[in-house]
Amino acid sequence: MKGLVFTELLSMADEHVGEDGVDQVLSGCPLSSGGAYTAVGNYPSEELTTLVGAFSDATQLDIGQYQRMFGRWMFGTFLDSYPHFFENKATAFDMLDSVEEEVHVDVRKLYPDAELPVFKTEHLDAKKMVFIYTSPRGLVDFCHGLIQACLDHYGETADIQVEVSRSDKLTTARFDITRLS
Ligand code: HEM
């Protein structure tokens, strides 16, 4: 997993527990990288899950909630760093439709070693979209946070129902998104 994801997690956690708190959490975690992340490095994705768990403990927030919060945070980072992906989309559904075939395709061109999920989308009617996430990394709540932030960005609200199934190697999450406004 890209180092940028780790450096962003540490920046967000810094706002919750401060620099010393971040160092304390890092030194208490079994991290093969030693916790010295750089934005251009690559690190095991399991370390992200470990760190989200440790920061949720340190803040006494629910682990799923912490991972969703981080998804929201990363949306802000993507928006700041890659505004062009968002500018030519009129709605959150347009944006979500473009992730698999445009956004992550470009990410893969930039970083051939990027570890990306697979998305399938289906439109049931003008207000209902099904967004299906499949990945060996199982970052369902992170994805949920990105979707919520995407709706917020386009000034929309929606009901989101999630159904998760996990096998040995893959996690699939079906997000049923119904636009309310
Ligand atoms: C709402 C829109 C988006 C959704 C739902 C989404 C979803 C995800 C998810 C769930 C992951 C984690 C990897 C996994 O679970 O397998 C991921 C990784 C990533 N995404 Fe997206 N993404 C979105 C938009 C973007 C945008 C706009 C960019 C900017 C270029 C981007 C760049 C990346 C990068 C760099 C990674 C990390 C790859 C790695 O660590 O190797 N994504 N995305």
pLDDT by residue for the chain (181 residues), tens digit each? 999 999 999 999 999 999 999 999 999 999 999 999 999 999 999 999 999 999 999 999 999 999 999 999 999 999 999 999 999 999 999 999 999 999 999 999 999 999 999 999 999 999 999 999 999 999 999 999 999 999 999 999 999 999 999 999 999 999 999 999 9
Contacts 24+ apart (CB under 8 A), 78-87: 79/153, 86/153
Report the pLDDT value the prediction gives residue 124, as an integer from 0 to 100.
98
Torsion angle (degrees, nearest 10) of CA 158, 159, 162, 163: -130
Residue nearest to atom 34 of ligand 1 (CA): 107
Residue nearest to atom 14 of ligand 1 (CA): 117
DSSP 2: B
Q: Is 142 in the pocket of ligand 1 (CB under 6 A)?
A: yes
Report the pLDDT value the prediction gives residue 25, as an integer from 0 to 100.
97
The amino acid present at 143, given as its one-letter code, is: C
Q: Is 107 in the pocket of ligand 1 (CB under 6 A)?
A: yes
Please, is 79 exposed, middle or buried when counting C-beta atoms within 10 Å of its C-beta (0-12, 13-18, 19+)? middle
The contacts of residue 49 (CB under 8 Å, 6+ apart) are 138, 139
Report the pLDDT value the prediction gives residue 22, as an integer from 0 to 100.
98
Q: What are phi and psi of 51, to 5 degrees?
A: -70, -40
CATH topology of domain 92-179: H-NOX domain (3.90.1520)
Report the pLDDT value the prediction gives residue 170, as an integer from 0 to 100.
98
Element (H, E) at 91: none
DSSP 53: H
The residue extents of the domains of the chain are 3-61, 92-179
Please, is 124 exposed, middle or buried when counting C-beta atoms within 10 Å of its C-beta (0-12, 13-18, 19+)? exposed
Please, is 90 exposed, middle or buried when counting C-beta atoms within 10 Å of its C-beta (0-12, 13-18, 19+)? exposed
How far is residue 146's CA from residue 38's CA, in Å, rounded to a whole number?
Answer: 23
